[in-house]
Structure 1
Amino acid sequence: MPRTEANGIELEYETFGDPRQPTLLLVAGLGSQLLSWRSGLCAHFAAHGFHVVRYDNRDSGLSTFLDRGPKPDLRAIVRGDPGSAPYLIADLARDAVGLLDALGVDRAHVAGASMGGMIAQQLAIDHPGRLRSLCSIMSRPGDGVSGAGTREAEAQLSTPRPADRAGAIEAGMGVWRVIGSPGYPEDEAGLRAHVAETYDRSHRVDGFGRQLAAILASPDRTAGLRGVTAPTLVLHGMADPLIDRSGGEATARAVPGAELLLLPGMGHDLPEPLWPDIADAVAANAAQAS
């Protein structure tokens, strides 16, 4: 896969479809690699006429890991002292802009899932001229109220990840059993293969805490979202245990004219049976862009 310098770091990325078509930038979530945007879903987007770009955020996958500084103090950040966070969601949004610059893309359709949705929201707030349309998926505006998860789901964020391959794969399976879509349970063998592929590509987990610190230390985006003018789709699973549907509802309320699409049976993932519906919805929202 290609890699490029962006915003002072290096980002690993992959593309699908015709580069002459409008770009759809896919932003991954907390601790997730670009593989979280499954190739089959990317193919659906490409079939809708997008040049699809998926990439690893900093501190994930094969992009730059910022592991030379002190560890963030998550407890202090939660108590209101964000000083130990090495970067914020706004910095991750600048990474996305840097990637677009490196690819020679002036304006792109942007879709982000979970933390990726937060990054996409911030990109729309801070860099409105770089977006054609916005899609925020299973995310929240950071108001500290909406989008709370269940205790069991949130416990997955603080559970240590084993370093060995077998243990890491089992832990990953456990995570998806908790946060996955109850209405669309994934085939056990297929899920295990995906978790194993992710581990084999990059099994580093030390960036997770820094990304989590960025989420916790970043300010509420609600006021900024009120100024977003790009066509906006907010997509959320009605059975999401990690970020409750209220996070999507709050995001949609904040953006003038945003469309809210709630999907029954969908948890905190993008199940394959819903890929055609998701691709159709993203394409319909993008079509509203001038």
Structure 2
Amino acid sequence: MTLPGVREREGDLVDVDGRRMRVRVEGEGPPLLLLNGLTRPLESWEPVTRALTGRTVVSFDAPGVGSSPTPRLPLSMSALARLAVSVLDAVGLDDADVLGFSHGGAVAQQLAVDAPERVRRLVLVSTSCGIGATPADQGALRGLLPRPAAHPWPWPDSVGTLWRILAISCWSSIPFLGAIRVPTLVVCGARDRMVPATNSALLARRIPGARLVVLPAGHDLQRAGQAGSLVEIVEPFLAGRVLREPRLVSA
């Protein structure tokens, strides 16, 4: 699937609800919308997208991340969820499976309750409820910013990063988790110091019918070496099949 004006591999800046945003569409098959972590551009999904098969994958740089311009004022989590819906509109999709990582998982929760008709199935990876969550290990907070030698990504805009931190710091999904009715899979790493696994357990308890899978890993389930294990769990869930449990600590 290709969108006029969007280069399949690089992505391109397109108009999304009056904003210029970098969007990438690649592959063929049922659509999957990916929502990035706090400072991460769409390139961060490449280990995951390489492991996926038979999917039209839609990813984008949120405002203030990667190549999408930083807004003059911060956007709320509801506004970020509306932008995700607008991305689906821009690429001509009525609905999609949605996978959100870390900060993107919080946006995905908001999206699932605000626009459930646009979400087929929901996957929440290494994420939390916002206010009310078990906090990060202080030493792990250094991982919020990418190491230039580790990733060939654009350095995140400091104002854009601040806006996204402000958005989630005054937001909580606890009041509405019980209203999420789409099939939901929650995945985390047992050794996650950034978003401790207790946060995923809380989400799985509060979202009706949600399934929890805990992998023997840390926070970054997107990275090469972990993405394959993540996809092994995600693909059968999105296909509606019974989940296999390879290399799991608990579920």
Q: Same fold (TM over 0.5)?
A: yes
2:68 — aligned with what? 63
Q: Distance in 1 between matches of 2:143 and 2:23?
A: 27
- Map residues 99-248 of structure 1 onto 2, 5 A cutoff: 99-144=87-132, 146-154=133-141, 172-173=146-147, 192=149, 194-195=150-151, 197-199=152-154, 204-218=157-171, 220-248=172-200
Q: Is the 8 A contact 1:147 1:248 kept in 2?
A: no
SS at match of 2:209: coil
2:232 maps to amino acid: D
Aligned residue among 16, 21, 26 for 1:16: 26
TM-score (norm 1): 0.74
Q: Is the 8 A contact 2:65 2:156 kept in 1?
A: no
Aligned residue among 58, 79, 86 for 1:91: 79
Identity across aligned pairs (percent)?
Answer: 30
Alpha-carbon offset, residue 268 of structure 1: 3.5
1:249 maps to amino acid: A
TM-score (norm 2): 0.85
1:238 maps to amino acid: A
Q: Is the 8 A contact 1:139 1:147 kept in 2?
A: no
Q: Is the 8 A contact 1:33 1:60 kept in 2?
A: yes
Structure 2: unaligned runs, 5 residues or longer: 1-10, 242-251
SS at match of 1:135: strand
Q: Is the 8 A contact 1:233 1:285 kept in 2?
A: yes
1:280 aligns with 2:232: yes
Asked which structure has the greater CA Rg, the reply is 1
Aligned residue among 39, 43, 61 for 1:35: 43
Deviation sequence 1:187-222 (CA, Å, 0-9, x none): xxxx83x52x213xx55332110110001122x212
1:119 maps to amino acid: V
Bigger proportion of residues as helix? 1
Q: Distance in 1 between matches of 2:77 and 2:228?
A: 29
Aligned residue among 233, 249, 255 for 2:207: 255
1:72 — aligned with what? none
Alpha-carbon offset, residue 276 of structure 1: 2.5
1:63 maps to amino acid: S
Alpha-carbon offset, residue 273 of structure 1: 2.6
Deviation sequence 1:122-175 (CA, Å, 0-9, x none): 10010000001000000001242x331111123555xxxxxxxxxxxxx733xx
Q: Is the 8 A contact 2:217 2:226 kept in 1?
A: no
Deviation sequence 1:83-110 (CA, Å, 0-9, x none): xxx3211111111000000111001000
- Which 4+ runs in 1 deviate beyond 6 A? none
Alpha-carbon offset, residue 116 of structure 1: 0.3
Q: Is the 8 A contact 1:34 1:56 kept in 2?
A: yes
Q: Distance in 2 between matches of 1:55 and 1:132?
A: 19
Structure 1: unaligned runs, 5 residues or longer: 70-85, 158-170, 174-190
Alpha-carbon offset, residue 10 of structure 1: 1.8
Alpha-carbon offset, residue 274 of structure 1: 2.8
Q: Distance in 2 between matches of 1:237 and 1:100?
A: 29
Q: Give the total of aligned pairs.
A: 231
Q: Distance in 2 between matches of 1:236 and 1:130?
A: 24
Q: Structure 1 residues 268 and 280, CA, compared in 2 at 3 Å: closer, same or farther?
A: closer
Q: Is the 8 A contact 1:111 1:117 kept in 2?
A: yes
